[in-house]
Amino acid sequence: MFSRLARPQNLAALAGALRNFSTTTACNNKVAVLGASGGIGQPLSLLLKHNAAITQLALYDIAHTPGVACDLSHIETGSEVKGYLGDAELGACLEGCDVVVIPAGVPRKPGMTRDDLFNTNASIVRDLVKACTQHCPTAFLLLVTNPVNSTVPIASEVCKAAGTYDPGRVIGVTTLDVVRANTFVANLKGLNPAEVNVPVVGGHAGKTIIPLISQATPSVEFDPETLDNLTKRIQDAGTEVVNAKAGAGSATLSMAYAGARFTNSLLAALNGKEGVIECGFIKSSETESSYFSTPLLLGKNGIEKNLGLGKLSDFETKLVEDAMDELKGSIAKGEKFASQ
């Protein structure tokens, strides 16, 4: 049902696909990663270094970015990598950016929810987005920092206050939920995960994560108990990783992969590739929630069309209903923070 960029089946294939990336038009894109020295930022920057559509890769953090940039600059791809360190260099990092990916913030630890991260990460996102409004006001802002259900509204309100807001350019990256759903469904059905696509809508935390397994391609069916358990596993997969790492971090590598996938898809569409579809958390009128993740058709101008929810099963309709209070509360919390 949903077309998209072909997904490589392993890291070597991913590297080869990105090195050989080409489009119908010349590519000259500057991409910044804010939080590039962190657990997500480093592998994310590594994956983006392989994309030939990125001519300048600007890496920012409060520590270690010169070393990270030097390390990545030795990789045999064409993009120029430069590290920027601290507040004094943030503006130079952002000047001329087409896309800014923001994974900056503290990770989850065992026993923490994404919402527990709010007080620290909300301030980080607010300040970084404010700098974006000053130095790259037309850039696409891709929010990875949790809680995404709140940080996207924060970013939007900051842009509104600066007079630079374009709702189609502030996007929460929920791709990891799609990646997980594809993998878990494929494992249960003995399919190749690279050939499975499960749209995931709603938000990016707990029960706001709503996999639309009835719309999966290829079509799959599960008995009610298996479907319920599968849905809960997709919703709680982040906690699964946090617990498995036993205090050593959260989902960094898979999140880096998912962030690179969305960024690469957006760049491919901006540079002329047609039929690129990814799910993303954006300002929306699809439901009673003012922000909602749905499949998005990407094109030369960014989001060409919100493809909406499609036909839901009764089970999925109930999931959407059950997610609303939590989702609206997280959005309101973000908007209130930004207005202070």
Span of 19-33, 72-86, 126-140 with lowest mean pLDDT: 19-33
Q: Is 145 annotated as a binding residue?
A: yes
Q: Is 146 annotated as a binding residue?
A: yes
- Residue tagged active-site, from 50, 74, 135, 204: 204
Q: Look over the chain and give the mean of its residue pLDDT values, rounded to a whole number.
A: 92
Q: Is the bond into 224 cis (omega within 30 degrees of 0)?
A: no
Q: Is 86 annotated as a binding residue?
A: no
Domain extents in the chain: 29-173, 174-339
Q: Which of 194, 210, 214 is nearest to 202 (CA)?
A: 210
Q: Is 255 annotated as a binding residue?
A: yes
Asked if the model's pLDDT at residue 216 lies above 50, the reply is yes
Residues 171-205 pLDDT 10s: 999 999 999 999 999 999 999 999 999 999 999 99
Span of 110-114, 115-119, 195-199 with lowest mean pLDDT: 110-114
User: If you average pLDDT over residues 58-79, what whole number do you get?
Assistant: 97
Residue-level pLDDT at 115: 72
Residue with tokens 């206050």: 161
DSSP line for 106-160: PPP-TT--GGGGHHHHHHHHHHHHHHHHHH-TTSEEEE-SS-HHHHHHHHHHHHH
Contact between 202 and 327 under an 8 Å Cβ cutoff? The reply is: yes
- The DSSP bridge partners found for residue 84 are 60
What percentage of residues in the chain have a pLDDT greater than 70? 92
Residue-level pLDDT at 108: 74
Q: Is 10 annotated as a binding residue?
A: no
Is 174-339 in CATH node 3.10.180.10? no
User: If you average pLDDT over residues 58-71, what whole number do you get?
Assistant: 98
Give yes or no: 204 in active site. Answer: yes
Span of 21-30, 99-108, 270-279 with lowest mean pLDDT: 21-30
- For domain 29-173, the CATH architecture is 3-Layer(aba) Sandwich (3.40)
Asked if the model's pLDDT at residue 239 lies above 90, the reply is yes
Residues 298-333 pLDDT 10s: 999 999 999 999 999 999 999 999 999 999 999 999
Q: Is 329 annotated as a binding residue?
A: no
